[in-house]
Structure 1
């Protein structure tokens, strides 16, 4: 018999204070270098998330920084007074701004998903198929027991994002109350 195999255990995410400190340090590196080190934020994000899209953005940010350095280096004299110099400065600061916003949003989103997957695993629920899945985790079934006879699932209305455990308990209670109402109405009709 072949099965799905075992899911990789989800690592516990770092403490929030550590994450905030790391984010501040990496953003400060980009800001205090006047944008020349903006690529460092993307490097950290690419290493942490290990997504090909993040590595592609790292290359794009590094190329934009390199192009701005070349444009500023070809500027004659100490002052910027040509179109190439202005383009270099605009590219440098624009890259810094966009990279900082994207880095903070993607880093927060990554660790929020990791925290939700860890909470689901800790409370005895199977983690989502991937760290980017948005479905609610289901209860893990023992491998050698037949599945219980259940009522067909009712599509749940969209819910606001919240703690995974609370939403899971709420969904299970709603399902149980629907089942009990149906069960009671069948018994009342049979008498």
Structure 2
């Protein structure tokens, strides 16, 4: 069973312009008798029921106009039927050319856009509206086992202090406590007492 292939690249712009000019020139040079040829090409390219219906309507109008011109006696147009046939041939030519050019340009523009979208990496399922593919599965699991998601492992808080950009102040030495004045006084009294005792012992 064949799947959906790649989007077919549209023809080159030069070829499309040449074909459009060719079919328009054929329709104009035949005075509308071959206007159905360009509508046939459009219907074959787009494959729309509207274009097929317009092809049938244009072919019927041109056939009726040709029949009315054929019933005209003589080589010149004198009767209302002949003028009606000429109006059908020439009157249907202008809207047919306008619709042909607009519809074909729009069709190939959409085709080129779809081709660029597919070539740019977008999957054909997304480009053409098919269901999206299922998420990938693990290699060793069953067909319906999704790949488990790994939970992030929490990191234990670090006991090291966070370095700060501001330098810590240097520790200041403890202030020296001055000696009390009472100690100096006791020391002086002890000196006086020792002098006194020395003199007292020398006197004996």
Does residue 1:65 correspond to 2:62, yes or no?
yes
79, 100, 103: which one pairs with 1:103? Answer: 100
Task: Give the gaps of 5 or more residues in structure 1.
Answer: 131-139, 147-191
Mapping of 1:117-156 within 5 angstroms? 117-126=114-123, 128-129=127-128, 143-145=134-136
Mapping of 1:14-163 within 5 angstroms? 14-126=11-123, 128-129=127-128, 143-145=134-136
Partner-residue secondary structure (3-state), 1:12:
coil
Q: Structure 1 residue 53: deviation in Å?
A: 1.1
Q: State how far apart, in whole Å, the 1-side matches of 2:41 and 2:101 are.
A: 11
Q: State how far apart, in whole Å, the 2-side matches of 1:126 and 1:86 are.
A: 57
User: 1:19-42: per-residue Cα shift (whole Å, max 9, x none)?
Assistant: 000001111110111110000000
- In the superposition, the TM-score normalised over structure 1's length comes to 0.65
Query: What RMSD, in angstroms, separates the aligned Cα atoms of the two structures?
Result: 2.4
Partner-residue secondary structure (3-state), 1:75:
coil
Bigger radius of gyration: 2
Task: Give the gaps of 5 or more residues in structure 2.
Answer: 138-204
Partner-residue secondary structure (3-state), 1:113:
helix
Partner-residue secondary structure (3-state), 1:34:
coil
Q: Structure 1 residue 125: deviation in Å?
A: 1.6
User: 1:85-132: per-residue Cα shift (whole Å, max 9, x none)?
Assistant: 1111111011111110000000000000000000000001245438xx
Q: Normalized per residue, which structure has more helix?
A: 1
